[in-house]
Amino acid sequence: MEEISPTPETSDPLELAGNGDEKAEENGENGGIAKILDKRIVDDRETWYLVNWTDKKRENSWLESSEIEASQTAAIERFEEELAEKDPDEEFTLEKITDKRILSGVVYYYCKWLGFPDSDSTWEPCENIFAKNLIDDFEKEAENSKSAKKRKKSARQNDEDFTPEEDIPRLAFLTD
């Protein structure tokens, strides 16, 4: 779980989310926009787009429309055309939750959507997720994973015959 706290110097959502990279990188000079995934209007005036980057090492991130380079606006135009053709009442089905982080005290879950590739997964605040059973499943799995790690570590510490060298594989050519 990733915890990010706002700093008094910034209120920029990109910086708060850990995506406050250099302007050149934001504008796609180090990997352009592959696809626009979502759109949000902030404070009834600013338009933000969820960007999927051509550089697969970069996580999807939100950019204000004014931060998107003119050469990259074709992706916005394609997204807006697709959006105009969609049913406004369409709802998406959550397949599973794969991660969790806290940003400014708000819990976000990384959502994998049914029928969409992993690259279309998005961070959603808890209040936007209606499938509370999937949140419960994720939290139980995360707790079980933590417990298993603790049990393994505890077993090693309690094993009188255990030495750290046991975890290091012996290489045949070194022992000859």
The confidence score (pLDDT) of residue 75 equals: 87
Q: Do domains 7-90 and 91-160 have the same CATH topology?
A: yes
pTM, entire model: 0.42
Find out if CATH 2.40.50.40 is the number for domain 7-90: yes
Q: Is 55 within 8 Å of 31 (Cβ atoms)?
A: yes
> Which residues of the chain fall short of a pLDDT of 50?
1-29
The confidence score (pLDDT) of residue 16 equals: 40
Instruction: Decide: helix, strand or coil at residue 78.
Output: helix
Strands 2-4 and 94-103: parallel
Q: Locate the domains of the chain by residue range.
A: 7-90, 91-160
The confidence score (pLDDT) of residue 15 equals: 42
What are 27-65's pLDDT values in tens digits? 444 578 888 988 888 888 889 999 999 888 888 889 888
Give the burial class of 58: count Cβ atoms within 10 A of its Cβ; 0-12 exposed, 13-18 middle, 19 or more buried.
Answer: middle
Q: Which fold has domain 91-160?
A: OB fold (Dihydrolipoamide Acetyltransferase, E2P) (2.40.50)
The confidence score (pLDDT) of residue 85 equals: 83
